[in-house]
Structure 1
Amino acid sequence: MTYGWNSSRGAYRQPYALDSLRKLKETGSEWIALSFYTLQANTHSTEIPFDYGHTMTDRDIEHAIKQAKALGLKVCLKPVVNSKDGIWRAHIGFPEEDGAKPYWDAWFESYGNFLWHYAEIAEELGCEMFCIGCEMVKTEPKTAHWEALIARIRTVYSGPLVYNANHGSEEGVAWFDLVDLIGTSAYYPVAKAPGESEDAMFANWLPVRDKLRRMHERFGKPIVFMEIGCRSALGCATMPWDFTHAELPASEAEQANFYGSVLRAFWDEPWFSGFFWWDWSVKLYPTEQAAADTGFDIHGKQAERVLREWYAKAR
């Protein structure tokens, strides 16, 4: 499960956060991606600040890691950079022309400093994985910069590294041979219409599976879904990334079918390493409100029952 996203300073250290982690563990999940973000000023900024009005403090992060580990959960530390102007982080970058080189150099230097800080924390606290980037599509062609950044991070973090590409752009990353796992945000639109069955969605996962198998064969690295999920709202399997259409009616079945279909499609593939579901909130809604909730959380919903059944097979 992805845990911790979009939380405010201090939230990880509240009693409700530990209650949430315990409930997460009860699903059969073995890992969390502890994911948090800082904000650069805009998509063309060259400086990434540690603004603790937005960024979780090191004290918060250490507490969450220790709580997760005390429950027997493994931790992938996943620091993310977003753009304060609200533009998706995939657009962070600069033009592809000679005059832009100093800007690219400055941004990667700042981003490297940002990652270095959290890589040290991941090493010191024994995090089992470290994510070096999430959906940073415009930066991905800068292979030499990523090579240097990865080499730098490996001097302070000794565990496996993963990069989180975005669904549909994975094949544009030429340097996947330098990380230990190939990650992607697997928000593939596997439904053609609202309310489709699990079988229909399963059929639409098969070409995705074939594509990702070819990527594994090309780079020799296992594939992991660093993000995957679907809101419990009618029609969201046609656009699993969606979080804006608040008018859609609740549909536990839509979410459950999405979960069941992708578990069926990838469970037995030896090159596939698993799922980080999006997402599990630090502060959960009351269980009796689950049927009316239209967010990504699965607590108390049909999708949680689906997941528990599949994860029970692995025990």
Structure 2
Amino acid sequence: MTYGWNSSRGSYRQPYAVDSLRKLSETGSEWIALSFYTMQNNVYATEIPFDYGLTMTDRDIEHTVKEAKALGLKVCLKPVVNSKDGIWRAHIGFPEESSAEPYWDAWFQSYGNFLSHYAELAQELGCEMFCIGCEMVKTEAKQEHWSQLIARIRSIYDGPIVYNANHGSEERIKWFDQVDLIGTSAYYPVANQPGDSEEEMISNWLPVREKMASLHAKFGKPIIFMEIGCRSALGCATMPWDFTHTELPVSEEEQANFYSSVLKVFWDEPWFAGFFWWDWSVKLYDREEAGSNVGFDIYGKKAEHILKEWYEKPKQSLLRLG
């Protein structure tokens, strides 16, 4: 499960957060991606500041890592950079021309400083995985910059590292041989229309599986869905990334079909490392409100029951790191 996203500073250490993490562990999940963000001023900025009014403190992160480990959960630390102008982080970057190269150099230096801080923290806290970026599509062509950045992180953190591509952009990244796992945000639209059946979704996951198998064959790295999920609202399996259409009616069934279909298609693939579901809130709604909730959370919903059934199966840990 992804845990920690879009939370206010200090919220990780509240009693409701501890309760939420305990309920997360009761799903049978074995890992959390502890995901938080800071903001650069706009997509063309070259500096990534620490915002003392926003960014999670090291104390916040340390608290959650220790709580997770006490519950038997492993942790992938996942620091993310967003943009204050509201433009998606995939657009962070500069023109592809020689005069823009100093801007690229400055941004990667600042991003490296940002990541190095959290890589050091991940090392000190014993986090079992570290994510070096999320959906930073425009930066991904800068192969030499990424190679230097990965080498810098490996000098600090000795565990496995993963990069979180965006669905549809995975095959354009040339430096996946330098990470330990190939990650993607697997928000593939697997429904053709609102209310589609599990069978229809399975048929649409099959070509995705073929593409992921080819990616594994090319680089020899396990594939992991660093983000995957679907809101419990009618039509969301046609656009699993959506969080804006809050007017859509509740559909626990559509979310449940999304979960069950992808579990059936990928569970037994030896090259597939696992899922980090999006997402599990730090402050959960009351269980009796699950039937009216249209968010990504599965607490108290049909998808939670499906996940528990799969995770209770006798199995080796799904997250395969070798």
What root-mean-square deviation, in Å, do the aligned CA atoms of Structure 1 and Structure 2 show? Answer: 0.5
Residues 34-45 of structure 1 correspond to what in structure 2 (within 5 A)? 34-45=34-45
Over 3 Å off, 4+ runs: none
Structure 2 length as normaliser, TM-score? 0.97
Aligned equivalent of 1:231: 231
Aligned equivalent of 1:243: 243
Aligned equivalent of 2:175: 175
- Alpha-carbon deviation of 1:54? 1.5
Aligned equivalent of 2:50: 50
The CA distance in 2 between the partners of 1:65 and 1:47, in whole Å, is 28
Deviations 1:254-273 (A, max 9, x none): 00000000000000000000
Aligned equivalent of 2:318: none
Deviations 1:226-274 (A, max 9, x none): 0000000000000000000011000000000000000000000000000
- Alpha-carbon deviation of 1:314? 3.8
- Alpha-carbon deviation of 1:19? 0.5
Counterpart residue identity of residue 59, structure 1: R
Aligned equivalent of 1:75: 75
- Alpha-carbon deviation of 1:302? 0.2
Aligned pair count reads: 315
The CA distance in 1 between the partners of 2:85 and 2:33, in whole Å, is 25
Aligned equivalent of 1:33: 33
- Alpha-carbon deviation of 1:211? 0.3
Counterpart residue identity of residue 217, structure 2: E
The CA distance in 2 between the partners of 1:199 and 1:265, in whole Å, is 11
The CA distance in 2 between the partners of 1:143 and 1:50, in whole Å, is 26
Residues 248-263 of structure 1 correspond to what in structure 2 (within 5 A)? 248-263=248-263
The CA distance in 2 between the partners of 1:247 and 1:126, in whole Å, is 42
Aligned equivalent of 1:284: 284
- Alpha-carbon deviation of 1:53? 1.2
The CA distance in 2 between the partners of 1:213 and 1:311, in whole Å, is 23
Structure 1 length as normaliser, TM-score? 1.00
Deviations 1:38-71 (A, max 9, x none): 0000000000001021110111000010000011
The CA distance in 1 between the partners of 2:293 and 2:51, in whole Å, is 32
The CA distance in 1 between the partners of 2:52 and 2:66, in whole Å, is 21
The CA distance in 2 between the partners of 1:53 and 1:136, in whole Å, is 24
Residues 1-315 of structure 1 correspond to what in structure 2 (within 5 A)? 1-314=1-314
Helix, strand or coil: the match of 1:227?
strand
The CA distance in 1 between the partners of 2:90 and 2:9, in whole Å, is 25
Counterpart residue identity of residue 278, structure 1: W
Q: Provide structure 1 residue ranges, at least 5 long, that are not aligned to the other structure.
A: none
Q: Provide structure 2 residue ranges, at least 5 long, that are not aligned to the other structure.
A: 316-322
